[in-house]
Amino acid sequence: MMKYFTFRFLSIIPMLLLVTVIIFAGLQLTPGDPLSYMIPPELLSSSQFDIEGYKKAMGLDAPVYVQFYKWFGDLATGELGYSLVDGTSIAKMIGNRLPATFELAVAALIISSVLGIVLGLLSSIRQNSMLDYGNTTFGILGISIPEFFVGIIAIQIFAIKLGWLPVSGRIGYGDVTFFDRIEYMIMPALVLGIALTAALMRYTRGTMLDVLNKDYVKTARSKGIPEYKVIIKHAFRNALMPVVLLLVFRLPMLIGGTVIIESVFGWPGMGGMILNAVSAKDYPVVMISTMLVAFMVLFASFLVDLITAMLDPRVRFES
């Protein structure tokens, strides 16, 4: 088993390389370049403006494979590079923005995990009851309504009308500790967690209903074991594994998929940085950012295999 997991972990490296090649090729196929984003069109069209000189200074005049080789060579030495648009260190950009995105993603994941599992468990226990119908309705609405619409409604109600929470941002003037920032996190974390809660609730409900119909659960009930022990010890423990695996995949997807929520609430995270970099065709920033997200997804896939083997003794990787 150790041999298998070592191979799975090392296989992340070639897959990351393949992802970088695909992303770099896709960026080269998109129209425009950083110059068209940085410099006004009237200046670009001016005969006195040395376009070729700027491209040479930025390394954009070299063939595509040379640009990729130079970028990958710098990355291999631990140099993440600099933004083509403003010259900022990419390591510094990620260091400033990744904690904000990770903070928001973890908060949304905790909220959705607790609510989704609890509501899904209650719906499976009270199948076809008013509670089940209400949770099903909430699940359909939570998945169907766009996050940006829910975010705008939340801002209108809780920030503008009631004045309970700040409209946007991550930190206020004079705030120092994490607890000082909680009021800024409440709305974006809840809005981001609604769709996740709805999906996880429906998944938990379906998994629990499947387990509750298994023969070993019926046998446990026939032995006179109290119902709460049957549900918690026999049904929920076995239904929890696929739910946990789903949660493992959620975190990297959250980190890469918070663009809309960060835009609505003015949250200074990775989503806005990636969006701006793609718009400006700032390929060093796009490459490093997407590599980071890709690594998290691939590492989550590795953790899924590891957790599956640890939780389910029937799974073995001998061959």
Cβ pair 105, 258 in contact under 8 A: yes
Cβ pair 186, 169 in contact under 8 A: no
- The pLDDT value recorded for residue 258 is 74
Backbone angles phi, psi at 89, to 5 degrees: -65, 130
pTM of the model: 0.76
Q: What is the DSSP letter of 22?
A: H
- The pLDDT value recorded for residue 305 is 74
> pLDDT class for 294, splitting at 50, 70, 90?
confident
> pLDDT class for 193, splitting at 50, 70, 90?
confident
Question: How far apart (Å, rounded) are the C-alpha atoms in residues 55 and 35?
Answer: 8
Q: What is the mean pLDDT of the chain?
A: 79
The amino acid sitting at 275 is L
pLDDT in tens, 42-96: 665 665 556 667 677 666 777 777 888 888 888 888 788 888 777 788 888 888 8
**Percentage, residues of the chain above pLDDT 70:** 84
Question: What are the C-alpha distances in Å from 291 to residues 223, 224, 301?
Answer: 54, 54, 15
Domains, the chain, in order of start with CATH, read 1-85+280-319 (no CATH), 93-269 (1.10.3720.10)
Q: For 159-173, 207-221, 254-268, which range has the lowest pLDDT when averaged over its residues?
A: 254-268
Question: What are the C-alpha distances in Å from 132 to residues 113, 139, 239?
Answer: 18, 10, 18
Q: Extract the tokens encoding 73.
A: 């060579």
User: Which H or E run includes 208?
Assistant: helix 182-212
DSSP string, 53-103: HHHHHHTTTS-HHHHHHHHHHHHHTT---B-TTT--BHHHHHHHHHHHHHH
- The pLDDT value recorded for residue 319 is 47
- The pLDDT value recorded for residue 39 is 66
